[in-house]
Amino acid sequence: MTQSNEEAASLIMARGPQRLEAFAQTLATGVPPVQAAKLAGYPQGWTITALEIPLSVHNHGYSATREQAMKDFKARWTATIN
């Protein structure tokens, strides 16, 4: 089942308990969990888990889009290994 642009826009604007409800409703339609999270407005997360990199609060983060998350991850990774 596909959602209209209007329904998707209302889900993106959801916050707090409404965001969780939007996520649950989207999952119920058969949408994959990653796509449902995106539609519900959850940010993309990233984490550096390489064994040679010491644990740090700076080795993870969140970004608004997948593309931005990849850029942020790459920037942090290159800063960590240099």
Do 56 and 19 share a structural domain?
Answer: no
Average pLDDT over residues 5-22: 63
**Last residue in a domain, options 26, 42, 58:** 42
Residues facing 44 on adjacent strands: 63
Quick: pLDDT tens for 19-67. 778 778 888 888 887 777 777 777 777 888 888 777 777 788 888 778 8
pTM of the model: 0.50
Q: How many structural domains is the chain composed of?
A: 2
Residue 10's domain spans which residues?
Answer: 1-42
Do 31 and 19 share a structural domain?
Answer: yes
Those residues whose C-beta lies under 8 Å from the C-beta of residue 12, and which sit 6 or more positions away, are 39, 40, 41
Do 55 and 28 share a structural domain?
Answer: no
Do 36 and 22 share a structural domain?
Answer: yes
